[in-house]
Amino acid sequence: MNFGGTFPTTRLRRNRYDDWNRRLVAENALAPADLIWPIFLTRGEGQRIPVASMPGVDRVSVDLVSEHVAEAVSLGIPAVALFPYTPIDERDEDGSEALDPENLMCRAARALKAAHPNLGLIGDVALDTFTTHGHDGVVRDGYVDNEATVEILCEQATLMAQAGIDVVAPSDMMDGRIGSIRAALDAKGLIHTRIMSYAAKYASGFYAPFRVAVGSEALRPDSQRRHVSRLGDKKTYQMNPANSDEALREVAMDIAEGADMVMVKPGLPYLDIVWRVRREFGLPTFAYQVSGEYSMIMAAVERGWLDHDRAMMGSLMGFKRAGCNGVLTYFAVSAARLLRHG
């Protein structure tokens, strides 16, 4: 690309001189419609419980969830993503709570659809928030069993869609789960339920605050449950951060199996992946600004090291510049307020 022009005839600073001119020539724009707000659900009634690892983020009970998202709806945020907190005494090794049509996810979906019928609902399809071992699938002989897990995920996704979830979002990283879930949904006549695949989800230390939010940090020690000796962390199914070409293979497979949208996770450390995915496939592409990214910014803000609004908006614009159609971010409401009201 030949940009041409030499100084002093060409002065690039001219178009930066006035605020109106800077806005006029901006190459990318951020709007509330680009934001998806992840929210956490909890048991009980009248519950609004701060998440210690994520300043400004609460777990809310189902009776409060419609009120909780009302401002987001009024600000033009198009969708929320739901994640349940399951106490350890309600978990088991196979995550059977995920298949209860009266679980938190399903009850919250029904409540939100009744109160805000035009709000998009995205539901997490995985077993980590329901299992005692905290893995995204069922463990057999010290290894997450791919086929057994996919079978459960299909039933989980179907129950969620029947409860009102518009977009099922498999975050488990099992092979072949997109095609199986699509077939299961279609078999039940749920042809309008979309699939947002966590297509390139990397093994990452940036998920730690999220695991506090959903209760996985409180799992029983190995001495009180079956020891998953060969497994340890999630590196046998989440991607190696060293790999980029592999992400394109993951995305290509999920598209071939019927994914309507794809996601890269985490966000900021993987903007190169976002860029490659969007350029290669042109499919609606999203990124998740995960809990660790959010909490790092908030911790620096609390210490006076960063300005909240500038750091927040700068990070979100990075996603748009990389090619994201939208961003899952805990900053969604704060950013939408700023975009709407200044």
Domain ranges for the chain, please list them: 30-341
Vertex 290 angle, CA 289 and 291, to 5°: 130
For residue 127, give both structure tokens: 């077993």
pTM: 0.94
For residue 279, give both structure tokens: 């350029």
Residue at 42: amino acid letter: T
Contact assessment for residue 195 and residue 170, using Cβ atoms and an 8 Å cutoff: yes
Vertex 119 angle, CA 113 and 125, to 5°: 75
What pLDDT, on the 0 to 100 scale, is given for residue 5?
85
Domain made up of 30-341: CATH architecture:
Alpha-Beta Barrel (3.20)
Residue among 188, 235, 265, 320 flagged as catalytic: 265
Going by C-alpha positions, the residue among 245, 168, 174, 237 that lies closest to residue 204 is: 237
What pLDDT, on the 0 to 100 scale, is given for residue 227?
38
234 included as an active-site residue: no
Helix-, strand-, coil-residue percentages of the chain, each rounded to 5: 45, 20, 35
For residue 216, give both structure tokens: 């996985």
What pLDDT, on the 0 to 100 scale, is given for residue 232?
54
- The DSSP call for residue 219 is P
DSSP per-residue codes, 224-279: GS---TTTSSSTTTSBPTT-SHHHHHHHHHHHHHT-SEEEEESSGGGHHHHHHHHH
Going by C-alpha positions, the residue among 49, 155, 172, 36 that lies closest to residue 106 is: 155
265 included as an active-site residue: yes
- The residues of the chain scoring below 50 in pLDDT are 219-231
Residue among 113, 188, 201, 234 flagged as catalytic: 201
What pLDDT, on the 0 to 100 scale, is given for residue 320?
97
- Output the CA torsion sign for 246, 252, 257, 259: positive
